[in-house]
Amino acid sequence: MNRVASLLRQTRRPGRLGWTDILSYAYLALGVVLMFGPVLWLVLSSLKTPAALLEFPPSFLPLTQKTISVPGHAQPLELHRVRLPDGSVKELAQVRRIGIQATMIDPANPAAPAIRVPIEAREPIREVAFAWSNYTEPLKQFAFGRYFANSLVVTIAATIITLLINSMAAYALAIYEFRGKNAALLMVIGTLMIPITIVLVPVFLVVTQLGLNNSLWAVILPGAATPTGVFLLRQYMLTLPRDLIEAARMDKASEWQIYSRIVMPLTLPALAVLAIFSIMWRWNEFLWPLAVLTKSEVYTLQIGLNAFQGELQTQWHYLLAMTVMTLAPVALVFVFLQRFITTGIANTGMK
Amino acid sequence: MSQTGSPPRAIPRDSLASRLIQGIAGLADRPMAWIQHAVGGRGMAYVFLGPNILFFGLFVFLPIGINMAMSLTGGTNLFLSERPFIGGDHYRSLMQCGSYLDPASCREDHFWKGVSNTLKFTLFQMVAMVGTALVTALVLNRKIRGRGFFRAVYFFPVLLSPVVVALIWKWILQRDGLLNGAITLAGGEKILFFVEPGWAMFWAVFVSVWAHMGFYTLILLAGLQAIPADLYEAAEMDGTKPMRVLTRITLPLLWPNLVVVLVLVLIKAVQTFDEVFVLTGGGPGTATLMVVQYIYETAFANQVQNFGLAAAASMLLGSVLFALTMLQLWIARRKAA
């Protein structure tokens, strides 16, 4: 227990590493392996050929059997390292294999008579090779491109709508005094308590009544008004100087102009945080699209990927590559906006 | 919900984003001026508030009412006018149990299996999640080289989609996967993780902790960094033992944040669906079937779509969430006071 305790509150002394520091770094190193390892494994696996994926225990790098084209043979032949009866080791190409006997020829001298060796005496020569076709094939064979485009449309449209209506509501709740303001605030808090998990069936009914079934609007609209967004933006707008607004009113600016030309530009940092959140929510959304989208033309990426994992049980090579492609945009966003996202969350306590 | 620390740097006014907003806003100037002329300057508050409230009404408040009505009506039709009123029958069949401790004795055995799985999951997950997040936050709060990097390492899975997270781990845990490879190399026997109920639940908890702990670590880290440094300096001058510093300074001052995190984890855990659904499909059998999966399947995935029963089950789940959120708000108010 003492160990844990001292680990928790000691600082690095200059020039000397205490063992508590070593323990901390060990914990962090373990964390790196545990957090990055699985993703790295996914990426490496996604570049393996189906044959390499079947291997057990799995190899770390994507390896494939090295082959060689030999004149006189239509197909490229597998290259093996063979221990010959006289004890010498030679690289030979395999012509065929019957049972435990393999027929090998010397690729450098294909005219020479073939040698028969037992299969234990040969060891396949392998090289690192990336199966890029795992990435290109799904784009051709499956509707992966369409799902990607659907997700893009949903994410962009929903984020624009969210930013617009949330900022307008936040503006009203931050700047004006009006009858029903408290009721409106209470309503916003109330919606915090009602996640989509609770209202799946009735929202499905509303969407059906609006005639939006199996259109992307069915995914875009229901989550567009977010209580978190209203709170985040209102909180930020409350800190803006009131004089600015009063001065604009003196200058005969309309309320819309004040909102759009003065308040919105000043709220950009908070809008950016909300935009990042919204993009994250929408790109990753699963339960609601799963319930409402039944036609595969309108599947989003997440729903498509989930459908593939049911259908492609035996085609992991495609599934893994598609998983990487789904993950890639998020990874890019993270690399560029990491600091922004983490401070945004630390400041608001939301995700 | 409050902004702590200094607000982020303002973005320059002539930035692209800023100019874009101005350009688009210009298009609405005319119509908005007419509206303001009609309703007056103060009336504009309602105009600004309107769209958002309309969305809330249409997709949150109206549905709550419909949900209630749905749960009290029967039949398989989606439209309320076509559904006969049946009173509390759905609730009765949900609650009809030989013994509440034995889901198999219930009429809706999958619902109760879901309840018991969700409780189990929530309990394990809360302990594991808060435990790892706390330790990680404490380690990251030390003077560590490359803290930003390590913080990012723990945080990045938060951004991954549940489907991606589940598929990553499904690939590692499958019969001929990386983990079984390692076990075999170490001389062990392959374990069929998704065939044994205990293992399936373990990995469901593990994977959800893996995916979300970074978020809670971040909140706890913010709490730790808000503890005044002079308290620690004073303790060091007095030669206080590190263990005492932890129990007398760090933990008591972190306590409010810890409670917030606990309740947040609880609220999320009760609604668990995505990762577990993709990872195990609720299996083996019903060993990792959660309440939300029961609701989803009852309404949308089963041969006969029983919207009423699903609505009744979500009303029950909703009341639990309502109670938990009230608890959260009450704690937040006490923290603010």
**In a shared domain, residues A262 and A204:** yes
Compute the average pLDDT of residues A13-39. Answer: 82
Residue B2 has pLDDT above 50, yes or no: no
Q: Which of B42, B169, B300 sits opposite A176 (nearest CB)?
A: B42
Is the CB of residue A75 less than 8 Å away from at least one CB of chain B? no
Q: What tokens appear for A83 in the block?
A: 């221990």
Closest CA to A328 of A283, A272, A289, A278: A283
Percent of chain A surpassing pLDDT 70:
92
DSSP string, B29-68: HHHHHHHHHHHHHHHHHHHHHHHHHHHHIIIIIHHHHHHH
Distance from the A113 Cα atom to the nearest Cα atom in chain B, whole angstroms: 40
What distance in Å separates the CA atoms of residue B65 and residue A278, rounded to the nearest whole number?
A: 27
pLDDT per residue over B186-206, tens digit each? 988 889 999 999 999 999 999
Is the CB of residue A115 less than 8 Å away from at least one CB of chain B? no
**In a shared domain, residues A118 and A149:** no
- Interface residue of A201, A233, A341 to substitute, partner B, most B CBs within 10 Å: A201
Q: Which of A12, A200, A221 sits opposite B299 (nearest CB)?
A: A200
pLDDT of residue B5: 39
pLDDT per residue over A38-48, tens digit each? 999 999 988 88
A131 in a structural domain: no
Distance from the A216 Cα atom to the nearest Cα atom in chain B, whole angstroms: 16
Which of the four pLDDT bands, split at 50, 70 and 90, describes residue B6? Answer: very low
In 10 A of CB A179, how many CB atoms? Answer: 9
Question: Which chain A residues in 278-297 lie under 8 Å from chain B, judged by CB atoms?
Answer: 280, 283-284, 286-287, 290-291
pLDDT of residue B1: 36
Angle at A329 between CA A339 and CA A158, to 5 degrees: 90
Number of domains into which chain A is organized? 3
Q: Would you list the domain boundaries of chain B?
A: 110-336
**In a shared domain, residues A271 and A201:** yes
Compute the average pLDDT of residues B58-63. Answer: 93
pLDDT per residue over A198-225, tens digit each? 899 999 999 999 999 889 999 999 989 9
Residues B46, A172: C-beta atoms closer than 8 Å: yes
- The half-sphere exposure of A343 on its side-chain side, counting CA atoms within 13 A, is 13
> In CATH, what is the architecture of B110-336?
Orthogonal Bundle (1.10)
pLDDT of residue B48: 93
**In a shared domain, residues A159 and A304:** yes
What distance in Å separates the CA atoms of residue B137 and residue B129, rounded to the nearest whole number?
A: 12
Residue B289 has pLDDT above 90, yes or no: yes
Mean of the per-residue pLDDT values for chain B?
A: 87
Q: Which of A331-340, B10-19, B108-117, B302-311 has the lowest mean pLDDT?
A: B10-19
Residues A269, B10: C-beta atoms closer than 8 Å: yes
A96 in a structural domain: yes
**In a shared domain, residues A120 and A173:** no
Q: Which of A201-210, A241-250, A307-316 has the lowest mean pLDDT?
A: A307-316
Residues A347, B66: C-beta atoms closer than 8 Å: no
Contact B110, B286 (CB under 8 A): yes
What is the signed CA dihedral for A25, A31, A32, A33, rounded to 10 degrees? 110
Compute the average pLDDT of residues B290-306. Answer: 91
Chains A & B: contacts with CB separation below 8 Å: 355
What distance in Å separates the CA atoms of residue A202 and residue A200, rounded to the nearest whole number?
A: 6
Q: Which of A195, A269, A341 sits opposite B271 (nearest CB)?
A: A195
Residues B52, A38: C-beta atoms closer than 8 Å: no
To which residue do tokens 């992966």 refer? Answer: A144
- Interface residue of B56, B203, B278, B290 to substitute, partner A, most A CBs within 10 Å: B56
Which of the four pLDDT bands, split at 50, 70 and 90, describes residue A50? Answer: confident
Residues B59, A222: C-beta atoms closer than 8 Å: yes
Percent of chain A surpassing pLDDT 90:
30
Residues B55, A5: C-beta atoms closer than 8 Å: no
Is the CB of residue A250 less than 8 Å away from at least one CB of chain B? no
pLDDT of residue B16: 75
Residue B9 has pLDDT above 70, yes or no: no
A6 vs B31, more confident? B31
- The half-sphere exposure of A76 on its side-chain side, counting CA atoms within 13 A, is 8
Cis status of the peptide bond prior to A62, with omega within 30 of 0: no
Residues B48, A259: C-beta atoms closer than 8 Å: yes
What distance in Å separates the CA atoms of residue B337 and residue B332, rounded to the nearest whole number?
A: 9
Neighboring chain B residues of A230 at a CB cutoff of 8 Å: 52
Residues B139, A221: C-beta atoms closer than 8 Å: no
Mean of the per-residue pLDDT values for chain A?
A: 84
Write down the ipTM of this complex.
Answer: 0.86
Amino acid, single-letter form, for residue A211: G
Contact A128, A61 (CB under 8 A): yes
Is the CB of residue A7 less than 8 Å away from at least one CB of chain B? yes
Distance from the B259 Cα atom to the nearest Cα atom in chain A, whole angstroms: 13
**In a shared domain, residues A192 and A279:** yes
What distance in Å separates the CA atoms of residue A325 and residue A347, rounded to the nearest whole number?
A: 31
- What is the per-residue burial (b if ≥16 Cβ within 10 Å, else e) of A239-269? eeeeeebeebeeeebbbbbbbbbbbbbbbbb
Distance from the B101 Cα atom to the nearest Cα atom in chain A, whole angstroms: 25
Residues B11, A272: C-beta atoms closer than 8 Å: yes
Neighboring chain A residues of B78 at a CB cutoff of 8 Å: 204-205, 208
DSSP string, B268-304: HHHT--HHHHHHHTT-STTTT--HHHHHHIIIIISSS
Which of the four pLDDT bands, split at 50, 70 and 90, describes residue B246? Answer: confident
3-state secondary structure of B205: helix
A329 in a structural domain: yes
Compute the average pLDDT of residues A314-330. Answer: 86
Query: A264: left (phi > 0), else alpha (psi -120 to 50), else beta?
Result: alpha
Residue B130 has pLDDT above 60, yes or no: yes
- Interface residue of B49, B251, B266, B319 to substitute, partner A, most A CBs within 10 Å: B49
8-state DSSP, A204: H
Distance from the B3 Cα atom to the nearest Cα atom in chain A, whole angstroms: 6
Compute the average pLDDT of residues B135-150. Answer: 87
pLDDT of residue B52: 94
To which residue do tokens 């984003």 refer? Answer: B17
What distance in Å separates the CA atoms of residue B245 and residue B141, rounded to the nearest whole number?
A: 14
CATH of the domain at A217: 1.10.3720.10
DSSP string, B131-176: HHHHHHHHHHTS--TTHHHHHHHHHGGGGS-HHHHHHHHHHHHSTT
pLDDT of residue A21: 81
Residues A178, B42: C-beta atoms closer than 8 Å: yes
A312 in a structural domain: yes
**In a shared domain, residues A249 and A333:** yes
pLDDT of residue B4: 39
Is the CB of residue A191 less than 8 Å away from at least one CB of chain B? yes
Residue B10 has pLDDT above 50, yes or no: no
Residues A198, B4: C-beta atoms closer than 8 Å: no
Residues A326, B163: C-beta atoms closer than 8 Å: yes
**In a shared domain, residues A100 and A225:** no
Neighboring chain B residues of A260 at a CB cutoff of 8 Å: 21-22, 25, 28
What is the signed CA dihedral for B55, B61, B66, B68, rounded to 10 degrees? 160
What distance in Å separates the CA atoms of residue A86 and residue A93, rounded to the nearest whole number?
A: 18
**In a shared domain, residues A222 and A77:** no
A343 vs B114, more confident? B114
Residue A313 has pLDDT above 70, yes or no: no
Residue B326 has pLDDT above 80, yes or no: yes
Q: Which of A184, A254, A323 sits opposite B33 (nearest CB)?
A: A254
What distance in Å separates the CA atoms of residue A34 and residue B50, rounded to the nearest whole number?
A: 47
pLDDT of residue A346: 66
**In a shared domain, residues A289 and A332:** yes
Give me the helix-helix angle, B307-336 and B251-270, nearest 10°. 170
Structural domain span for residue A88: 67-124
Q: What's the whole-model pTM score?
A: 0.84
Which of the four pLDDT bands, split at 50, 70 and 90, describes residue A314? Answer: low
Neighboring chain B residues of A284 at a CB cutoff of 8 Å: 159-163
Percent of chain B surpassing pLDDT 70:
94
**In a shared domain, residues A314 and A175:** yes
pLDDT of residue B13: 55
Residue B283, φ and ψ in degrees, nearest 5: -95, -175
Residues B307, A194: C-beta atoms closer than 8 Å: no
A53 vs B1, more confident? A53
